[in-house]
Amino acid sequence: MENKETVVILDFYSQFNQLIARRVRECNVYSVVLPYDTPIEKIKEINPKGIIFTGGPASVYELDAPKCDEEIFKLGIPILGICYGMQFMSNSLGGVVVRGDKKEYGETPIQLNTSSPIFEGLDELNVCLMSHTDLVNDVPSGFLVNASSKNCHIAGIENKKLNFYGLQFHPEVNNTVNGTRIIRNFLYNVCKCSGTWKMSSFVDESIKNLRKKIGDKKVLLALSGGVDSSVAAVLLHKAIGKQLTCIFVDHGLLRKNEGDEVENIFRNQFDINLIRVNAEDRFLSKLAGVVDPEKKRKIIGEEFIRVFEEEAKKIGTVDFLVQGTIYPDVIESGKDKAATIKSHHNVGGLPDHVDFKEIIEPLRDLFKDEVRKTGLELGIPDTLVFRQPFPGPGLAIRIIGDITKEKLEILKDADYIFREEISKEGLGKELDQYFAVLTNLKSVGVMGDYRTYDYTLALRSVCTTDFMTATWSRIPFKVLEKVSSRIVNEVKHINRVVYDITSKPPATIEWE
């Protein structure tokens, strides 16, 4: 990593820390997010081309305000301070920050000095997102003001000699027009980056490094059919071919036909050494009578590991075990962990009893969208690369109450019809996650001349970017009507279909 052209994002508890890192990468420059109190030695070791201070909720006047080592200003490395980052920089270098009495929030026209290297190519009046209380009232000596608005006379500062820049607004969010251009200008005009971060070079470099590290040794991977483990599998296969064995534990809780599709892609398209374990009966017997969602998750997570271990034992000692960890899992932002609403037991957790010497995490530097780009680069079909997220415990948490084979089949068939109709209508790209839920509710219906007493099925679809919050999707009524009518006609034991119109919060995306 030391030799890679890198920009360090120093996180002062910003809600946008990952967004800034992704924007930098979209400009073809590799970035890492580090906590604000990262030791200066570590930053020197990375030898970054530039440093970005994020925003954050603190005021420089608070006693416990986050502050980084001020040595950072002596490294001769360009710095861009955003919002709190600009206030921290100004305060540290002798400027004056004043406490505002009310927050300025919203999209605000800002006058830019377009002869500044970071505003090159922008219009003189640019709409930017402001979100701050404190203000810089006096710039440190050697600095100039390069942006201002009606309520904020110092909305941007620069010291061209030191290559230090500050922005009171947020260039990383979409609400700031041409925000990415400002970040790009900082990277190329100020930090003089050359833009070497491309997924094609990531693939080539990873293959080279994996070959070097693994040599002629054996590698084991737990394949779930999800995007991360699939991309990791194909990347390793390209690097070491048959030295890789993938174990695909099919717990029977995947969507209709999915197990066969996964097998087909990996065995036939890529000729990967694949062991498929059909363990549906085993999982269903462990889950029999269990109604508590957290218990279901725990049982599935643990059983998955047991099955994986048993299969791995048959192979004997392996040298490496692959984990599909991605970058958001490894960022240490210093933020407190939020309360646990659901424990996300991801299939593919770390087994205790598999004989391996070392773990390999080939995707640990990548954001999710970069994992997808890598997948396309490797020739994995679009249908898999752009698959909607699917929870590790699968359909078990979409059957409310206890799980039986019969309920599972009902849900698989109904869910398949929903997905088929969405795809026929070409709506798939607009909806971020959509699925059916088998409620535990039975109600009276009439079919032909007969009374029925059968299950109610719920359809759920959400639009979201981060899955932390979501709004219910406005699927056209005519599509919902077709789905509902097909489901009650084609799937036995469903006589009523409802559509979930709750956003998150207060609801969660999954029903369990």
Helix, coil or strand: residue 289: coil
Query: Could you say whether residue 510 binds ligand XMP (CB under 6 A)?
Result: yes
Dist CA 224 CA 251 (whole Å): 10
Among 94, 106, 389, 476, binds ligand XMP (CB under 6 A): 389
Choice between 258 and 510, CB closer to ligand XMP: 510
Q: Which residue in the set 181, 184, 297, 412 belongs to the binding site for ligand XMP (CB under 6 A)?
A: 297
Closest separation between CB of residue 233 and ligand XMP, Å?
18
Please name the helix (run of DSSP H) or strand (run of DSSP E) that holds residue 435, with its range, or none: strand 433-447
Residue placing its CB nearer to ligand XMP in the complex, 55 or 393: 393
Under the binding rule (CB under 6 A), the answer on residue 66 touching ligand XMP is no
Q: Rounded distance, CA 489 to CA 241, Å?
A: 47
From candidates 345, 373, 419, 496, binder to ligand XMP by CB under 6 A: 345
Of 267 and 342, which has the nearer Cβ to ligand XMP? 342
- CB 33, min distance to ligand XMP, A: 22
Complex with ligand XMP: residue 54 or 433, whichever CB lies closer: 433
Are 235 and 207 in contact by the 8 Å Cβ rule? The answer is: yes
Closer to ligand XMP by CB, 178 or 346: give it. 346
Per the CB < 8 A criterion, the answer to whether 56 and 68 are in contact is no
Q: How far is the CB of 467 from ligand XMP (least distance, A)?
A: 4
User: Whose structure tokens read 């009606």?
Assistant: 150
Contact between 504 and ligand XMP by CB under 6 A: the answer reads yes
Stretch that binds ligand XMP, among 99-107, 148-156, 387-395, 401-409 (CB under 6 A): 387-395
- Contact yes or no for 467/389 (Cβ under 8 A): yes
- Determine, following the binding rule CB under 6 A, whether residue 394 of this chain makes contact with ligand XMP: no
How far apart (Å, rounded) are the C-alpha atoms in residues 414 and 444? 19
Which is the catalytic residue, given 5, 27, 68, 83? 83
Contact string (CB under 6 A) for ligand XMP, positions 457-476, x = contact: ----------x---------
Q: Catalytic annotation on 172?
A: yes
């899992």: which residue's tokens?
Answer: 329
- Judged by DSSP in three states, 355 sits in coil
Residue with token string 């084991």: 220
Residue type at position 264: N
| Pair 501, 472: CB distance under 8 Å | yes
Of 214, 392, 414, 460, which one interacts with ligand XMP (CB under 6 A)?
Answer: 392
Stretch that binds ligand XMP, among 44-52, 114-122, 390-398, 436-444 (CB under 6 A): 390-398
DSSP, residue by residue, 125-182:
EEEEEEEES-EEEEPPTT-EEEEE-SS-S-SEEEETTTTEEEESS-TTSTTSTTHHHH
Task: Give long-range contacts, CB 8 A cutoff, 24+ apart: 270-273.
Answer: 270/233, 270/234, 270/237, 272/233, 272/234, 272/237, 272/244, 272/246, 273/242, 273/244, 273/245, 273/246
Which listed residue (172, 311, 370, 421) is catalytic? 172
- Residue whose CB is less far from ligand XMP, 74 or 295: 295
Choice between 261 and 510, CB closer to ligand XMP: 510
Shortest separation between residue 284's beta carbon and ligand XMP, angstroms: 18
Min. distance of Cβ 398 from ligand XMP in angstroms? Answer: 9
Measure the CA–CA gap between 189 and 251, rounded to whole angstroms.
53
Measured CA to CA in angstroms, residue 308 lies from 41, 294, 349, 351 at distances of 41, 21, 10, 8
User: Reduced to 3 DSSP states, what percent helix, strand and coil does the chain have, rounded to the nearest 5?
Assistant: 35, 25, 40
Binding ligand XMP (rule: CB under 6 A), the pick from 344, 364, 405, 474 is 344
345 is catalytic: no
SS3 3: coil
Query: Within positions 80 to 139, which residues make up the interface with ligand XMP, using CB under 6 A?
Result: none
- Residue 433 touching ligand XMP (CB under 6 A): yes
Q: Which of 152, 210, 391, 497 binds ligand XMP (CB under 6 A)?
A: 391
Q: Does 346 bind ligand XMP (CB under 6 A)?
A: yes
The pair of structure tokens assigned to 354 is 């598999």
Q: What is the DSSP letter of 119?
A: G
Distances, alpha carbon 180 to alpha carbons 4, 28, 154, in Å: 22, 12, 21
- Beta-bridge partners for 436: 459
Q: Minimum distance from CB of 504 to ligand XMP (Å)?
A: 5
Residue 166 is a binding residue for ligand XMP (CB under 6 A)? no
**Catalytic hit among 5, 128, 158, 170:** 170
Closest approach, Cβ 392 to ligand XMP, in A, equals: 4
Number of residues that bind ligand XMP (CB under 6 A): 16
Which residue in 59, 148, 503, 508 binds ligand XMP (CB under 6 A)?
508
The SS3 call for residue 55 is: coil
Give the integer Cα–Cα distance in Å for 502 and 458.
12
The residues that touch ligand XMP, with contacts defined as CB under 6 A, are 297, 341-342, 344-346, 389, 391-393, 433, 467, 504, 508-510
Query: Catalytic site residues?
Result: 83, 170, 172
